[in-house]
Amino acid sequence: MLLEDRNSLDKIESKHTNEFPTVITDLPEADIQAKGIKAWILQSERHQLIFFEMQPTALVPEHSHSYPQWGMVIEGRMKLTINGKTKTIQKGDEYLIPTQAKHHAKFLTKTRVIDFFSEKTRYKTKTAK
């Protein structure tokens, strides 16, 4: 790596932020119906990687799907309930939601999460209005 590149990386890494950078927010925005949640989609042929930003007022209602979901908290804290078992998940924690598992989430702080869905159509992009 060039020294110039390393210096640029140091500036980025040392800057503490509670938002995703434009390299993420320039992705197509997901059409999320829940209040207090924004998300961006990285689409592949068979999967989706979703970058979520949740306000502390956001709630994800109980639901399940026919494919597994893996996620990691980038910033913040949430209470995640999977099949009736609740855990507080925070920055750096990973979770796996099995196929057909009923799950819901409550966000305790502003939270950023990356979720991998092994389904290519979990979320649709927001259409221009």
Domain membership of residue 69 (yes or no) is yes
Domain membership of residue 123 (yes or no) is no
Domain membership of residue 128 (yes or no) is no
Residue 102's domain comprises 3-117
Domain membership of residue 50 (yes or no) is yes
Domain membership of residue 129 (yes or no) is no
The CATH number for 66's domain is 2.60.120.10
The answer to whether residues 39 and 32 touch, using CB atoms and an 8 Å cutoff, is yes
Q: Kindly report, residue by residue over 62-120, the tens digit of the pLDDT.
A: 999 999 999 999 999 999 999 999 999 999 999 999 999 999 999 999 999 999 999 88
Q: Kindly report, residue by residue over 8-61, the tens digit of the pLDDT.
A: 554 555 455 678 999 999 999 999 988 999 999 999 999 999 999 999 999 999
pLDDT at residue number 18: 77
Total count of domains within the chain:
1
Q: What are phi and psi of 120, to 5 degrees?
A: -80, -10
Domain membership of residue 35 (yes or no) is yes
